[in-house]
Amino acid sequence: MRKPFIAANWKMNKTLSETREFISSFVPAVKDVKDVDIALAPPFTSLAIASENLKNSNILLAAQDVFYEEKGAYTGEVSPLMIVDIGCRYVIIGHSERRQYFNEADEVVNKKIVSAKKAGLGVIFCIGESLAERDAGKTFDVLQKEIADGLKGIDDKDIVVAYEPIWAIGTGKTATSEQAQEAHAYIRERLGFLYGNKADEIRILYGGSVTPENIGSLMACKDVDGALVGGASLKVENFIKIVKFKEGK
């Protein structure tokens, strides 16, 4: 059985006081949720305060990105060791916004995963096709390449895959349950080529305009094991509802 995993990706949002405020409402509201792994990925600037305020809670801390070198002259970058040191258990790698705005290629994504795992971090590895690629019938080709290149030489342990169709991110256009299930089943099949039976244990999250309204139908899909939530994770009442999706059934 794969335990559901629901993660908030705040992207470039929330100051320190907003982070504190969110956490002070969120922690007590979800403290009894035992059957879902919950993670928060605030911006780097909020990690320290989040780490402090999440101590002894059932919420895991995640970073939104990491550089692959351990240390040195890389102005503006943050190393895996720093992420671990501040209390992160996970890191998001290969988000489409990193690929799109910061030109992160699959090779860079792969180096980051290698380095993050070496430091003991769990990785939320993001993949997904653009609308043009979907319309051209290339969805599976894109996923296949991103998986093969991104996970080259990586063992299966502590990898969480996030399927995030780019056309669904921040657009209010969620993939239908059928589209999500189809892509997730394909991803699991490809993971099977890399990891054999272990692919059945790897959690595959859906991301792209997840809301309290659509989380239930997405989670009902056989191969959807959780969600990576952007916009709807910024309002604490919405993210609480998403984490407690079982109660909304």
CA atoms within 13 A on the CB side of 133: 15
Taking the CB of residue 85, how many other CB atoms lie within 10 A of it?
A: 12
Least spacing, CB of residue 235 vs ligand PGA, in Å: 12
**Closer to ligand PGA at the Cβ: 54 or 228?**
228
Kindly list the residues in this chain that would bind ligand PGA in the complex (CB under 6 A): 9, 164, 169-170, 207-210, 228-232
C-alpha–C-alpha distance, residues 98 and 125, integer Å: 12
In the complex, residue closest to ligand PGA by CB: 230
How near is the Cβ of 13 to ligand PGA at its closest, in Å?
10
Residues 41 and 19 sit within 8 Å (Cβ to Cβ): no
Token reading at 33: 């949720």
Cα–Cα nearest to 83, from 54, 53, 41, 114: 41
Shortest distance, position 169 Cβ to ligand PGA, whole Å: 4
Active site residue 164: yes
Output 22 or 195, the one with its CB closest to ligand PGA: 22
Q: Strand pairing of 37-41 and 5-9?
A: parallel
Q: How far is the CB of 162 from ligand PGA (least distance, A)?
A: 7
Q: Tell me if 116 sits within 8 A of 123, measured CB to CB.
A: yes
d(CA 125, CA 129): 14
Q: How far, rounded to the nearest angstrom, does the alpha carbon of residue 126 sit from its chain's CA centroid?
A: 7
Output 174 or 181, the one with its CB closest to ligand PGA. 174
Identified catalytic residue from 97, 133, 146, 164:
164
- Catalytic site residue 69? no
How near is the Cβ of 176 to ligand PGA at its closest, in Å?
A: 15
Give the nearer residue to ligand PGA in terms of CB position, either 195 or 232. 232
DSSP for residue 14: -
Catalytic residues: 95, 164
